[in-house]
Amino acid sequence: MSFRTPSRLQAAAIRTGLLRTSLAAFCSALALSTAHADPAAQPANGTPATTGTPARKAPAAAPRLTAAPAVEQIISTARRTRSEQSVGQVQMQRILPGINPVKALEILPGVVFEDADPWGNNEQNSSLFIHGFNQNQLGFTMDGVPLGDQSYGNFNGLSPQRAAISETIGMASVATGAGALGTASTSNLGGTLEFQTQDPLHRAGGQLDQTFGSWSTFRTFARIDTGDFGNGNSAYVAWARQDARAWDFDGHQGGNQVNAKFVHQGDNDRITGFFDWSDKVEPNEDGIVEPQGGDLYKRPFLYPNLQQAINYYNNSAAYKAAGLNYRNYYSDAQREDFLSYIKWSHDFSSHLHWDNQIYYHHDLGEGVVAGPITAAGLPALFGAYFPDNSAPQLSQVFGGSGMATRTTEYWDNRGGLMSTLRYQLGHHHIELGGWYERNNNTQARRWYAFDAADPTSPYDRQQNPLIHQYTNYFYTNTWVTHLQDTWQVSRNFSLNAGFKSELVYTNGTLPVAGLPGSLSPKTAITVPGGTIAAVKPFLPSFGALWNLTGHEQWFANIQENMRSFQDTGYGNASPWGVTSQQAFQDFKDHGHPETDWTYETGLRTNRPLSFGPLTNISGQLEYYHVHFSNRLLAVSSSPNLASIVGSATILTNVGSVTTDGMDFSFTTQFGPHFSFYNALSYNKSVYNDNYANGTTIVPTAGKNVAGVPNWTEKLVASTNWGDFNAQFIGDVIGKRYTTYTNDLSASSYALFSVNAGYTIHGIPHVRGLKVQGNITNLTDTRGWSTLNISNASGQYTAFPIAPRMFFLTLSATF
| DSSP state string for 434-455 | EEEEEEEEEEEEEEEEEETTS-
Mean pLDDT, 10 residues at a time, over the chain (814 residues)? Answer: 39 38 35 36 34 39 40 77 95 97 97 95 94 96 97 93 98 94 95 97 97 97 97 97 93 95 97 98 92 92 95 91 93 97 98 98 96 89 88 87 95 98 98 98 96 94 95 98 98 97 98 91 89 97 97 97 95 90 93 97 96 95 97 76 67 95 97 96 97 88 97 98 97 96 96 98 96 98 93 86 98 97
Q: Which residues of 149-162 are buried (b: 16+ CB within 10 A; e: fewer)?
A: bbbbbbbbbbbbbb
- What is the torsional sign of CA 600, 606, 609, 613? positive
Count Cα atoms within 13 angstroms, Cβ side, for 191.
24
CB within 8 Å of 239: residues ≥ 6 apart? 165, 220, 221, 222, 223, 256, 257, 258, 259
φ/ψ of residue 317, rounded to 5: -65, -35
3-state secondary structure of 326: coil
Dist CA 274 CA 352 (whole Å): 25
Looking at residue 638, what is its pLDDT?
62
CA distance 415 to 184: 12
Give the list of residues 6+ apart from residue 245 with CB closer than 8 angstroms, or none.
215, 216, 217, 251, 252, 253
Cα–Cα separations (whole angstroms), residue 782 to 43, 249, 799? 49, 17, 11
Distance CA 257, CA 772 (A): 23
Cβ(395)–Cβ(373) under 8 Å?
Answer: yes
How long a stretch of residues is the chain?
814
Per the DSSP assignment, residues forming a β-bridge with 404 are: 371, 449
Q: Which homologous superfamily does the CATH classification assign to the domain defined by 2-186+206-813?
A: TonB-dependent receptor, beta-barrel domain (2.40.170.20)
> Any idea where the domains of the chain sit in the sequence?
2-186+206-813
What is the reported pLDDT for 520? 83
Alpha-carbon dihedral sign for residues 618, 143, 153, 279: negative
Q: Specify whether the CB–CB gap between 15 and 9 falls below 8 A.
A: no
How far apart CA 490 and CA 555 sit, in angstroms, is 15
Task: Give the whole-angstrom CA distance, residue 145 versus residue 782.
Answer: 38
What lies within 8 Å, CB to CB, of 312 at 6+ separation is 302, 318, 319, 327
User: Rounded to 5 degrees, what are φ and ψ at 680?
Assistant: -115, 130
* pLDDT at res. 643: 55
Task: Find residue 769's DSSP bridge partners.
Answer: 760, 812
CB 307 within 8 A of CB 400: no
Q: Is the dihedral of CA 12, 17, 18, 22 positive or negative?
A: positive
Q: What is the pLDDT of residues 459-497, one digit of tens each?
A: 999 999 999 999 999 999 999 999 999 999 999 999 999
Q: Give pLDDT, residue 644.
A: 67
d(CA 786, CA 798): 6
Evaluate whether 280 touches 286 at the Cβ level (below 8 Å): no
Task: Tell me the pairing of strands 711-721 and 724-733.
Answer: antiparallel
